[in-house]
């Protein structure tokens, strides 16, 4: 069972209650909550919430370890298979649509790696910056370019690596795959809120994170030796506060940019999940229809 939705929509609270009612546990599907030492800025479930319902795939790698959808699937499938062998339904919760799609539909094999091309691209990125390479990607692969943020260095590098090595955009390879394999039968739930309500929640949660010590969390990560250029340190919030700590922007500006970019990210998440017709949508403020719908679907499954 999948529970998805944009950041700050209210997935955690509903997931805890749904897991309690089903007598099951939660499998994380958030690409940032897999990292150790990154708790506040990723809105990771609190220690108390993790005591209420066991969670899996939280804090499984350090910020300087490579992690992607393939590694996520490799770690998640054994966990899910253990649930299935015991006759229990795992509850996969998160906002990273690619991880959920890869888990349920398989990974696009894409083109083989081209190490020489990758090295050239990394040199270009160091010299020209990720924004310039993102502009190039938008020209050669506009479909993927629209989906990727200019700071998403790793995915930009991979997309340009594929294009330069094969002459075909990565979106072409993905279209050939089309995620047509169904690895797990699933119940897919997505939560939504009115846009203004969601944006207000994002703005408010950003300030709550700051009050909880988000800046100190980033400061501690830098003190531990994790470079600002690392993929997770370039994610929402972390890159903005790294800029503040380096003196490139003041704190109020950094917070405002976190809020703005998080709102934009939430919009992209909504677009992603709406592209999957298997998701059934529910308003986050009214959980009872979710519980009734899940109960009905499980009853239909048992009857079948």
**Domain 115-177, what fold?**
Histone, subunit A (1.10.20)
The response to whether 42 counts as a known ligand-binding position is no
The response to whether 93 counts as a known ligand-binding position is no
Rounded to 5 degrees, φ, ψ at 21 are: -65, -35
C-alpha 209/C-alpha 77 separation (Å) is 32
Neighbour tally for 304: CB within 10 Å: 5
Q: Is the pLDDT of residue 249 over 60?
A: yes
According to the model, what pLDDT value does residue 303 have? Answer: 54
Q: Which residues of the chain form CATH 1.10.20.140? A: 115-177
C-alpha 186/C-alpha 136 separation (Å) is 38
Residue whose C-alpha is closest to residue 43's, from 67, 13, 80, 73: 13
Average pLDDT of the segment spanning 174-183: 54
Query: How does pLDDT run across 32-47, given as a tens digit for each residue?
Result: 999 999 999 999 999 9
Q: Which residues of the chain form CATH 3.40.50.300? A: 2-108+179-303
Q: Is the pLDDT of residue 118 over 80?
A: yes
Average pLDDT of the segment spanning 127-149: 90
Q: Note the pTM of the prediction, 2 decimals.
A: 0.80
C-alpha 95/C-alpha 24 separation (Å) is 20
Residue whose C-alpha is closest to residue 89's, from 13, 1, 189: 1
Residue-averaged pLDDT of the chain? 91
The response to whether 12 counts as a known ligand-binding position is yes
According to the model, what pLDDT value does residue 180 have? Answer: 53
Average pLDDT of the segment spanning 50-54: 96
Query: How does pLDDT run across 4-30, given as a tens digit for each residue?
Result: 999 999 999 999 999 999 999 999 999
C-alpha 76/C-alpha 70 separation (Å) is 10
The response to whether 262 counts as a known ligand-binding position is no
Q: Is the pLDDT of residue 239 over 80?
A: yes
User: What percent of the chain shows pLDDT beyond 90?
Assistant: 73
Of 1-5, 178-182, 199-203, 210-214, which gets the smallest average pLDDT?
A: 178-182
According to the model, what pLDDT value does residue 152 have? Answer: 84
Architecture of domain 2-108+179-303: 3-Layer(aba) Sandwich (3.40)
Neighbour tally for 32: CB within 10 Å: 23
The response to whether 9 counts as a known ligand-binding position is yes
Of 53-57, 106-110, 246-250, which gets the smallest average pLDDT?
A: 106-110
Average pLDDT of the segment spanning 297-302: 77
**Banded model confidence at residue 177, pLDDT cuts 50, 70, 90:** very low
| Contact (Cβ atoms closer than 8 angstroms) between residue 18 and residue 45 | no
The response to whether 101 counts as a known ligand-binding position is no
According to the model, what pLDDT value does residue 294 have? Answer: 95
Q: Residue 5 contacts by C-beta under 8 Å, 6 or more apart in sequence?
A: 11, 95, 190, 191, 192, 269, 273, 284
């Amino acid at each position: 069972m999948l529970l998805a939705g944009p950041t700050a929509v209210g997935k955690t609270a509903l997931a805890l209650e749904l897991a309690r009612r089903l007598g099951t546990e939660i499998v994380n599907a958030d690409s940032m909550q897999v990292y150790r030492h990154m708790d506040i800025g990723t809105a990771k479930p609190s220690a108390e919430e993790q005591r209420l319902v066991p969670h899996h795939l939280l804090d499984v790698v350090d910020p300087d370890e490579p992690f992607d959808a393939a590694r996520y699937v490799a770690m998640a499938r054994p966990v899910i298979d253990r649930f299935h062998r015991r006759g229990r339904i795992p509850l996969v919760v998160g906002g990273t649509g690619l991880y959920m799609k890869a888990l349920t539909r398989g990974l696009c094999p894409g083109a083989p790696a081209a190490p020489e091309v990758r090295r050239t691209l990394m040199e270009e990125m160091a010299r020209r910056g990720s924004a310039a390479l993102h502009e190039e990607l938008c020209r050669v692969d506009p479909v993927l370019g629209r989906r990727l943020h200019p700071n998403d260095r790793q995915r930009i590098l991979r997309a340009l690596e594929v294009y330069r090595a094969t002459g075909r955009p990565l979106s072409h390879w993905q279209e050939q795959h089309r995620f047509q394999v169904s690895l797990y039968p699933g119940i897919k739930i997505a939560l939504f809120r009115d846009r203004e309500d969601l944006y207000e929640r994002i703005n408010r949660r950003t300030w709550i994170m700051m009050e909880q010590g988000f800046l100190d969390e980033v400061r501690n990560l830098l003190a531990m030796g994790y470079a600002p250029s690392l993929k997770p340190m370039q994610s929402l919030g972390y890159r903005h506060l790294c800029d503040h700590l380096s003196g490139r922007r003041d704190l109020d500006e950094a917070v405002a940019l976190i809020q703005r970019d998080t709102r934009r990210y939430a919009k992209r998440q909504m677009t992603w999940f709406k592209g999957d017709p298997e998701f059934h949508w529910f308003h986050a403020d009214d959980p009872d229809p979710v519980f009734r719908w899940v109960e009905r679907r499980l009853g239909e499954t048992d009857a079948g």
